[in-house]
């Protein structure tokens, strides 16, 4: 199974995803690690990615998910997955549950102002909110304490 932990930059995907994978004993994948150097540089400069930029990124992540599923390896994936078409692409041919970390622009902007160790900052946040299509088939969790979110997700998804 794949658990996709999604949301805009700064919503806590990586932190929650790592903790969730650790609790479950599953593999953790961070979608940021699948970006090209060009995409990373664009985001570092505050330039939002286009669908053309995202295409090879989504293809690489999907290929990895299909490979892991074929090996019967359970995965927690931290990925923005902002649009429904991206989520459909990522989940094609694999069993995937979606956890959406939801917060307001103001809440997440405040988090990003405190974050100094990541290439994606507040400069791309407006573009991410503009691109965001909130999922219809997901477990929605308000951003907050990562440990509490993990407990809620484990109870809701009835795993672990």
Residue 30 located in a structural domain: yes
Q: What is the DSSP letter of 60?
A: H
Rounded Cα gap, residues 114 and 94, in angstroms: 36
Q: State residue 43's pLDDT score.
A: 75
Please report the pLDDT score of residue 142 as a whole number.
Answer: 95
Query: Does the pLDDT at position 13 exceed 60?
Result: yes
**Domain total of the chain:** 1
Length of the chain: 160
**pLDDT over 70 (residue 87):** yes
Per the domain annotation, does 62 fall within a domain?
Answer: yes
43 lies in some domain = yes
97: Cα separation from own chain's centroid? 12
Query: Is residue 32 assigned to a domain?
Result: yes
Residue 119 is predicted with a pLDDT of 45
pTM of the model: 0.88
Tell me, what DSSP letter sits at residue 149?
H
pLDDT tens digits for 91-127?
999 999 999 999 999 988 887 776 555 444 455 677 7
Amino acid 123: pLDDT: 57
Q: Determine, yes or no, domain membership for 84.
A: yes
Q: Is residue 160 part of a domain?
A: no
Domain, as residue range, for 119? 2-155
pLDDT digits (tens, 9 = 90+) for 21-68: 999 999 999 998 998 888 888 877 777 778 899 899 999 999 999 999
Please check whether residue 144 lies inside any domain of the structure. Answer: yes
CATH number at residue 62: 3.40.50.300
Distance in angstroms (rounded) separating the CA atoms of residues 107 and 103: 6
How far, in Å, CA of 39 to CA of 83, rounded? 18
Per-residue model confidence (pLDDT) at position 118: 46
């Amino acid at each position: 199974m794949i658990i996709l932990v999604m949301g805009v930059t700064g919503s806590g995907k990586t932190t929650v995803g790592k903790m969730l994978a650790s609790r479950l004993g599953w593999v953790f994948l961070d979608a940021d690690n699948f970006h090209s150097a060009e995409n990373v540089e664009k985001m570092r400069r505050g330039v939002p990615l286009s669908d053309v930029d995202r295409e090879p990124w989504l293809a690489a992540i999907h290929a990895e998910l299909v490979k892991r599923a074929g090996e019967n390896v359970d995965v927690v994936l931290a990925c923005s997955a902002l649009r429904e078409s991206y989520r459909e692409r990522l989940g094609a041919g694999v069993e995937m549950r979606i956890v959406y970390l939801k917060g307001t622009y103001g809440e997440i902007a405040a988090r990003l102002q405190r974050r100094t160790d990541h290439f994606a900052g507040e400069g791309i946040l407006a573009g991410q909110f503009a691109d965001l299509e909130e999922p219809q088939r997901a477990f929605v969790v308000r951003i907050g304490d990562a440990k509490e979110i993990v407990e809620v997700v484990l109870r809701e998804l009835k795993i672990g």
